[in-house]
Amino acid sequence: MSLTSALTQQLTRRPQRLALLEQVAVQGSITRAAKAAGLSYKAAWDAIDELNNLAERPLVERSVGGKGGGGARLTAEGERLLALYKRLESLQARLLESAESEQDLELLGRLMLRTSARNQLSGRVLAIESRGRNDLVSIELAGGFHLAAQITHDSTEKLELAPGRNVVALIKAGWLKLQAASAEVDETLNQLQGRIEEVLDADDGPSEVRIALASGQTLCALVEPERLAQLGLKAGDQVRAQFAASQVLLGTAL
């Protein structure tokens, strides 16, 4: 199977929450729907809560308890949405056939991601280390940069993370702490080194510092002017951006 075919299959795979929605319609039971969709009973309840919270009107009606762990059925709005998604799947399959390469599809996926985080860095999962209820996810970015993200084990499962999976690392601009490139390295933190491209001062509040990485990616940090003056940093200087693994959010394509 070619890379393009494999990626097309991944992109056309039905999102798990919509697969659960379909199984609720078929099974009429949360327990049976969860099993058919490959979810735990708790994960199915959580997913249904998310579906109802994201929709303007509830998509699923539930009854607690009883044989089979409680009944469930789609509301009229849920049935309408599921029918709409099935039509979208058919159109999407035909559109993806016209893509020239897997790079086209990956780029489209990244461009459709919307988030409030200023820094969005695409990368690939290298390894996942269990740490109690959390996981430490090692990620390789473009240009050979590496960073670590600490997320809950539930999040790892929800995002279906595994070595080789493409991810987007999200870091808020206010979470980046800048140091001169020559300063002592704190090994407990993520480190990304680059060159200050531009400093945009604000009339009231922190300055926006744009940092060009060797990979061609750009970081944005919000730093108080007094801190910049203390560090003696200006445009053209080499700088190191530091941030904790717990300050990295991860996203994946559906």
Count of residues making up the chain = 254
Q: What is the CATH number of the domain that holds 180?
A: 2.40.50.100
Euclidean distance between CA atoms 183 and 180, whole angstroms: 5
76 and 139 together in one domain: no
Residue among 91, 124, 90 nearest 106 (CA): 124
CA distances from 227 to 143, 207, 223, 232, 234 (A): 29, 10, 7, 8, 12
Question: Any alpha helices (H) in the chain, and if so which ranges?
Answer: 3-12, 16-27, 30-37, 41-54, 76-96, 102-111, 153-158, 225-231
How confident is the model at residue 2, as a pLDDT? Answer: 40
In three-state secondary structure terms, 13 is: coil
Boundary-marking domain end, from 69, 104, 139: 104
188 and 220 together in one domain: yes
Euclidean distance between CA atoms 243 and 148, whole angstroms: 10
130 and 249 together in one domain: yes
147 and 84 together in one domain: no
DSSP assignments along 50-83, one per residue: HHHHHSSS-SEEEE-SSTTS-EEEE-HHHHHHHH
Q: Give residue 163's domain range.
A: 113-254
Please state whether the predicted TM-score (pTM) of the whole model is above 0.95.
no
130 and 248 together in one domain: yes
67 and 119 together in one domain: no
142 and 214 together in one domain: yes
Boundary-marking domain end, from 46, 71, 104: 104
Q: What is the CATH number of the domain that holds 86?
A: 1.10.10.10
Long-range contacts, 215-219 (Cβ 8 Å, 24+): 215/141, 215/142, 215/143, 215/144, 215/145, 216/142, 216/143, 217/121, 217/141, 217/142, 217/143, 219/119, 219/171, 219/176, 219/192, 219/194
69 and 151 together in one domain: no
172 and 225 together in one domain: yes
250 and 126 together in one domain: yes
Euclidean distance between CA atoms 34 and 12, whole angstroms: 21
Boundary-marking domain end, from 57, 87, 104: 104
Euclidean distance between CA atoms 134 and 151, whole angstroms: 6
140 and 43 together in one domain: no
Q: What is the total count of domains within the chain?
A: 2
Euclidean distance between CA atoms 211 and 185, whole angstroms: 18
How confident is the model at residue 128, as a pLDDT? Answer: 97
pLDDT means per 10 residues, the chain with 254 residues, are 42 70 91 90 81 77 61 90 83 62 58 62 92 95 90 92 91 92 91 91 86 84 91 92 94 72
How confident is the model at residue 251, as a pLDDT? Answer: 86
135 and 226 together in one domain: yes
